Amino acid sequence: MSDCRILVFEAAAAGRGPGWQAVPAAPDALAQPLAQPADLALIRAESGLAPDLVDRLALPLIVRVDAATPPLPHWLDRADALLLPGDGDDVLAMLAARLADLGPAGVADQSTTAQHITALSLEAQRIADALASLARAADAPPETPVDAALVRRLIRLRRDRDRHFPADLFGDPAWDMLLDLTAARLEQLDVPVSSLCLAAAVPTTTALRWVRSLSEAGLFVRRTDPTDARRAFITLSDGAFQAMLAWLNRFSRQFQPR
């Protein structure tokens, strides 16, 4: 598709970028058929529009996140793709083409072309490689299997550091999210994008960049809510989950009586 039509709920909706065409939309326009057809919708993460009105459009949804304004969780959890601060019209066009041609792509389906690889993406890949190596080299499991309680204790200990040191001294959102998703999988709980951002204990825009990068690296997988197709959850890939269990096994053995 050479030119995707994006239904834009923004003040600058009359513009047009390379590879996409804006279809302006006002909130009251949702109560009636659109004057022009659209392939997908673009909305700001802080928009006060009623979610059910946007859901009624049944269009793939790109959510634009502003670094200066807190996003609303329901938009993050509905997003088929995220447009982050610093992403230009070229990224919007790329996301639009993928969503229009392939259907809802999800957080895990962002472009990995060389011109968009950042230091963050490279770090995410390094983490993926390290976890894969750990899984291959894992020893036999300990007598006491890893459970969610152990992982939650680790998370509480990490947060407890903030009582004694500045919180930003130990910023490690990738590990915090890996631990949270490991515990959730052991507990058979679903984790929305918005909840995962809270677990990262960093600003939302930083957390979303990590979600996107770790998805590109194959550690995170986006899964549609089976009871509500408008919502999505993030889970660990099978390889990442096995790697986390291997590390936790080795960690727990260090504290067993000898």
Task: Kindly report, residue by residue over 37-62, the tens digit of the pLDDT.
Answer: 788 889 999 998 888 888 888 889 99
Domain match, 193 and 237 both:
yes
pLDDT at residue 112 is higher than 50: no
Last residue of a domain, one of 51, 71, 105: 105
pLDDT value of residue 96:
82
Dist CA 180 CA 199 (whole Å): 7
CA dist., res. 242 & res. 114, Å (int): 29
Q: What is the pLDDT of residues 130-145, one digit of tens each?
A: 766 666 665 555 455 7
Question: What pLDDT score does 145 carry?
Answer: 73
Q: How many other CB atoms are found less than 10 A from the CB of residue 198?
A: 14
pLDDT at residue 12, as a whole number: 54
**Mean pLDDT lowest among 61-75, 95-109, 170-184, 199-213:** 95-109
82 & 170 share domain: no
The pLDDT assigned to 71 comes to 94
Mean pLDDT over 193-209 rounds to 92
* 240 and 142 assigned to the same domain: yes
**Which residues contact residue 50 at a Cβ distance below 8 angstroms, ignoring those fewer than 6 apart?**
none
Lowest mean pLDDT among 58-72, 108-122, 143-157, 188-202: 108-122
Between vectors from CA 215 to CA 129 and to CA 66, what angle results, nearest 5°?
130
Q: Token pair of 158, please? A: 């990490």
Domain boundary among 105, 125, 145: 105
| Strongest mean pLDDT among 93-97, 131-135, 182-186 | 182-186
The per-residue pLDDT for 107 is: 46
Say how far apart CA 59 and CA 217 lie, in whole Å: 27
Model pLDDT, residue 19: 63
CB proximity list for 83: less than 8 A, separation 6 or greater: 42, 62, 63, 64, 65, 91, 92, 95
3-state secondary structure of 93: helix
Give which of 135, 67, 107 is closest to 233, Cα–Cα: 107
Give the residue, 172 or 118, on which the prediction is more confident.
172
Residues 140 and 236 in one domain: yes
* pLDDT of 247 above 80: yes
**Structure confidence at residue 97 as a pLDDT band (50, 70, 90):** confident
CATH number at residue 126: 1.10.10.10
Do 82 and 124 fall within a single domain? Answer: no
Query: Is there a single domain that holds both residue 123 and residue 92?
Result: no
Confidence of residue 122 (pLDDT cuts 50, 70, 90): low
The range of the structural domain enclosing residue 45 comes to 4-105
User: Do 130 and 208 belong together in one domain?
Assistant: yes
106 pLDDT above the threshold of 90: no
73 and 19 in one domain? Answer: yes
* DSSP character at residue 67: T
pLDDT at 233: 94
Q: Which residues pair with 207 in a beta bridge?
A: none
pLDDT of residue 32: 62
Confidence of residue 115 (pLDDT cuts 50, 70, 90): very low
Q: State the total domains in the chain.
A: 2
Is the domain of 158 the same as that of 91?
no
Closest among 210, 193, 16 to 96, alpha carbons compared: 16
% residues pLDDT > 90 (the chain)? 33
pLDDT of residue 194: 94
Helix (H, G, I), strand (E, B) or coil at 96: helix
* Mean pLDDT computed over every residue of the chain: 79
Residue 258 maps to a domain: no
Residue whose tokens read 């947060």: 159
